[in-house]
Structures are given as structure tokens and as C-alpha cells.
């Protein structure tokens, strides 16, 4: 079985490195912390005995575990991302272990003001008796995706230490800037050389995903006209009011907080401005490509209507497609889902095949010619102070990786 202490120690060591990506940076990687973390990771890959280890100038890591069998087997890749989310502080992460969790409220900070409670996060009760790694209430934890990095390295270490386990050639890839949608942009699929791959970037234990949102971002700029409010009648164009009108012209039932499963949404992620000028940032998501297109068209129609109501050019929208549903690329090679599902079952877990209400590097990689579904890491409540991960879920993720390569060789 995988070494629980080694998994825990490695994850905590990785979590302490601040490798948040930076959406405001145009460099690759977008932050120096990712290079710091990457250098630590390549040292560890070398220490456990991987070969062909490389870190390129853009922060991408590739390495190989060579085959130990003579027969022809598929070359399988395992991929995770080095960055953590910029949504919440990743500086001075201080992970704590709650041993043998008893199902009660967990105080996160020293004052007991910030709590992780089963009444708010009922999934905690699924892990009674297990060991949870939590935050100190001041930062995110970074299990997304340092758990994935940890699990891949620990699986390779286990295979190297147990050469009696047959496996084909395994490719390891770690990417920067996944959290800001750039993780696969400069990934060299040809150099990687895998027939297919799995991102270790999912959530709760058992999850296996090959469907994700089609995604677009939209930046809306509104030019108002500021006039003293005492003499504003017929003259003022309040950019903030235009922004409010625009938002309320979108269906309220199709916001993230009102949707689940395969339901798409319009998400206002940022708004700022004054009477004179305002900016709104939206993301548009839908699993169905036709509905995805309809959503983009609806927002464009609303912008056009507002430009009829106000002077032409008052509202300007710039849309950018980010990624597409990988299902189209995975269905023709569905055997790789069957393989992962069998590996999960062999670990004593029933696979939970669900759509991703987001995206992963695998979505872009699948369209780049490398079919890459997503496997659980075990984490919960990503991107915030209430993030936690059970050590036993990480152990099972390591076991699943080992099972995948073992089954593929049989």
C-alpha cells in the first residue's frame, strides 16, 4: 500500500510553497512562485528515480518512468498543475492535521472564530475516523492541485520501489497557470509522447470526469456621461446604472448559485466603476455547445439593445472562447474511461462519473490530440479557507494511478 506518512509529508511540504498564478501577468509562468515550486518538484522526481526530467522556460515539467515489460503497452500520461488559485491568499500556508476526525466542528484559527462545520459542509461526516488536512483559516490549502502533484510523484515512487509491478512507459507532466486558464497553452503534446493521459485534478474520492463546460469570458466596458446630479435630467448616463440594467436583463435563474449538474450559467465575476465609466467581467458556461452559443448570442443581443436605449457605443463587449467540452474527444476512446473506472473499483471504490462544472487542462489537451479525462485527488472546498483533504483519499488516488498502469499492462 502507498506510504501514508510520505504522502502527508510531501503534500504539506508542497502546500507551504506559494505558487499562486497571477491573472494580471502576461508572462509564462505568471508568477515566480511557480518556478520555485517547479524546481522543488524536479529535485523530487530525480530523487525517486525518474528519467528525462525537464523544466522548460515556461514552467512546464516533463519526466518519464520507463517500462519494465517487454511487450507493447500504451504510453500513459499523468498530469497535474503547479499553480494554486489567485482567488484567495496562498501566502504562508500553514496546513494542520486533524487525526481521527470525530465529526465535530473544527476550529481553524487559534481564536476559534473561523470554523469548519458539518452543518455547513455535511460532506465532512463522510470522513469520520479519517485524518483531515485543513488550513489555519487564513489561506487556501492548495490541494488544487498540489494533491495531484503529490499523488503522481508518490505513485511513481511506489512503482520504482516495487519493480515486480508490471507497467509500460509512463509520462509525467506538470503545468503552470491552470487556474487562470492557460495551463495547456504551451504544452508540447508531441514531446510528451503519451497515447492518452489523466489529469489528477478532481475533487472527492471516486470522481471520474470526461465532460466539462464549454467556456467563454466576456469583458464589458460601459462609457457613461457624468453630470452634476442636480442638473442631470436628460443628460447623465450613469455607467453603474447601465451595468445594473444589463445584469438584470440576464435570467436570474441562470446564475451559478441557482444551477447544478448540466445546467449552464452566466457569472458576473467582477464589476467596478463610477458614473463615468464601468467594467463588468462575465464568464459563460454550458455543457451543451448549442446552448453555449445561445448564451453568447443573448449577451450580445442585450448589449445591442442597450446601445439602442443609450447613445451608440455606450456598451462594448469583447468575448473570448476559453475551452470546450472534452466529451467530443473522449467518446471515441471511451476505453480509457473504462480503464480508469476499473482501476477505481480495484481500489475498493465505486466510480462517480459526473460532469465537471468547470474545466481542466484535460479539456484543451484533448482538443490538442491528447485525450485526457480527469481523476479525483480527494480535496474539498477548493480555492478558500475551508479547503480540506483526507489523507486516506490521497492514498486511494495513488492506488488508482498504480492500478491504471497495472491493468493497462495485463
Q: Residue 348: is its pLDDT beyond 80?
A: yes
Which pLDDT score is estimated for 238?
Answer: 98
Question: For residues 114 and 53, what is the distance between their CA atoms, to the nearest angstrom?
Answer: 42
Over residues 186-202, the mean pLDDT reads: 97
Split at pLDDT 50, 70, 90, the class of 256 is: very high
In this prediction, residues 319-333 reach a mean pLDDT of: 95
Query: Is 202 in contact with 375 (CB distance < 8 Å)?
Result: yes
With a cut of 90, say whether residue 279 has pLDDT above it: yes
Q: What is the CATH number of domain 214-323?
A: 3.30.70.360
What pLDDT band is residue 34 in, cutting at 50, 70 and 90?
A: very high
The pLDDT-based confidence of 297 (bands split at 50, 70, 90) is very high
Between CA 2 and CA 381 the distance in angstroms is 25
Average pLDDT over residues 385-398: 98
- How does DSSP assign 91-146, residue by residue? TT---EEETT--SS-EE-STTS-SEE-TTT-GGGGGGTTS-EEE--SSS---HHHH
Residues of the chain with CATH 3.40.630.10: 4-212+325-409
What fold characterizes domain 4-212+325-409?
Answer: Aminopeptidase (3.40.630)
User: How much is the mean pLDDT over the chain?
Assistant: 97
pLDDT-based confidence at residue 379 (cuts at 50, 70, 90):
very high
Helix and strand counts by DSSP (H, E) for the chain: 10, 17
In the chain, list all ranges with CATH 3.30.70.360.
214-323
CA–CA gap between residue 305 and residue 174 (Å, rounded): 45
- Mean pLDDT throughout 217-230? 97
Catalytic residue, chosen from 22, 44, 144, 178, is: 178
Neighbours of 351 (CB within 10 A): 20
Given a contact cutoff of 8 angstroms between Cβ atoms, the answer to whether 394 and 150 are in contact is yes
pLDDT tens readout for residues 127-164: 999 999 999 999 999 999 999 999 999 999 999 999 99
- For residue 20, pLDDT beyond 90: yes
Q: Has 178 been annotated as catalytic?
A: yes
What's the mean pLDDT in 175-202? 96
Q: Burial letters for 298-309: b for 16+ Cβ neighbours within 10 Å, e otherwise? A: bbeebbeebeee
- 383's CB contacts (< 8 A; 6+ apart) are 85, 87, 88, 140, 144
Cis bond upstream, residue 341 (ω within 30): no
Q: Which of 44, 83, 211, 286 is catalytic?
A: 83
Q: What is the mean pLDDT of residues 88-99?
A: 97
Distance CA 85, CA 17 (A): 13
pLDDT for 23 = 86
CB 281 within 8 A of CB 268: yes
Amino acid at each position: 500500500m502507498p506510504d501514508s506518512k510520505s504522502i502527508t509529508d510531501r503534500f504539506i511540504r508542497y502546500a507551504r510553497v506559494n505558487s499562486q498564478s497571477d491573472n494580471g501577468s502576461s508572462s509564462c509562468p505568471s508568477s515566480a512562485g511557480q518556478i520555485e515550486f517547479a524546481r522543488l518538484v524536479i529535485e523530487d522526481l530525480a530523487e525517486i528515480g525518474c528519467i528525462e526530467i525537464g523544466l522548460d522556460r515556461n514552467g512546464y515539467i516533463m519526466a518519464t518512468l520507463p517500462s519494465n515489460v517487454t511487450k507493447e503497452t500504451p504510453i500513459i500520461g499523468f498530469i497535474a498543475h503547479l499553480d494554486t488559485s489567485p482567488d484567495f491568499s496562498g501566502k504562508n500556508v500553514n496546513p494542520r492535521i486533524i487525526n481521527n476526525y470525530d465529526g465535530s466542528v473544527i476550529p481553524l484559527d487559534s481564536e476559534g472564530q473561523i470554523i469548519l462545520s458539518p452543518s455547513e459542509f455535511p460532506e465532512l461526516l463522510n470522513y469520520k475516523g479519517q485524518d483531515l488536512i485543513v488550513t489555519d483559516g487564513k489561506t487556501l490549502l492548495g490541494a488544487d492541485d498540489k494533491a495531484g502533484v503529490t499523488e503522481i510523484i508518490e505513485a511513481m515512487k511506489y512503482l520504482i520501489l516495487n519493480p515486480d509491478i508490471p507497467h509500460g512507459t509512463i509520462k509525467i507532466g506538470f503545468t503552470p497557470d491552470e487556474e487562470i486558464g492557460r495551463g495547456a497553452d504551451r504544452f508540447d503534446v508531441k514531446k510528451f509522447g503519451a497515447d492518452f493521459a489523466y489529469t489528477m485534478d478532481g475533487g472527492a474520492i471516486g470522481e471520474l470526469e470526461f465532460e466539462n463546460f464549454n467556456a467563454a469570458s466576456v469583458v464589458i466596458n460601459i462609457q457613461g456621461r457624468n453630470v452634476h446630479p442636480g442638473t442631470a435630467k436628460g443628460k447623465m448616463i450613469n455607467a453603474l446604472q447601465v451595468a445594473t440594467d444589463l445584469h438584470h436583463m440576464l435570467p436570474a435563474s441562470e446564475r451559478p448559485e441557482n444551477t447544478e449538474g448540466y445546467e449552464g450559467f452566466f457569472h458576473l465575476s467582477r464589476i467596478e466603476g463610477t458614473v463615468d465609466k464601468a467594467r463588468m467581467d462575465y464568464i459563460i458556461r454550458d455543457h451543451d455547445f448549442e446552448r453555449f452559443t445561445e448564451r453568447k448570442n443573448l449577451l450580445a443581443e442585450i448589449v445591442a439593445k442597450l446601445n439602442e436605449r443609450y447613445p451608440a457605443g455606450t456598451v462594448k463587449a469583447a468575448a473570448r472562447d476559453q475551452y470546450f467540452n472534452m466529451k467530443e474527444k473522449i467518446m471515441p476512446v471511451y476505453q480509457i474511461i473504462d480503464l480508469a473506472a476499473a482501476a477505481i473499483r480495484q481500489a475498493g471504490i465505486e466510480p462517480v462519473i459526473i460532469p465537471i462544472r468547470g474545466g481542466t487542462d484535460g479539456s484543451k489537451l484533448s482538443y490538442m490530440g491528447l485525450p485526457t479525462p480527469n481523476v479525483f485527488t480527494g480535496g474539498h472546498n477548493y480555492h478558500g479557507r475551508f479547503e480540506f483533504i483526507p489523507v486516506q483519499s490521497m492514498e486511494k488516488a495513488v492506488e488508482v494511478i498504480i492500478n491504471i498502469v497495472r491493468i493497462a499492462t495485463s
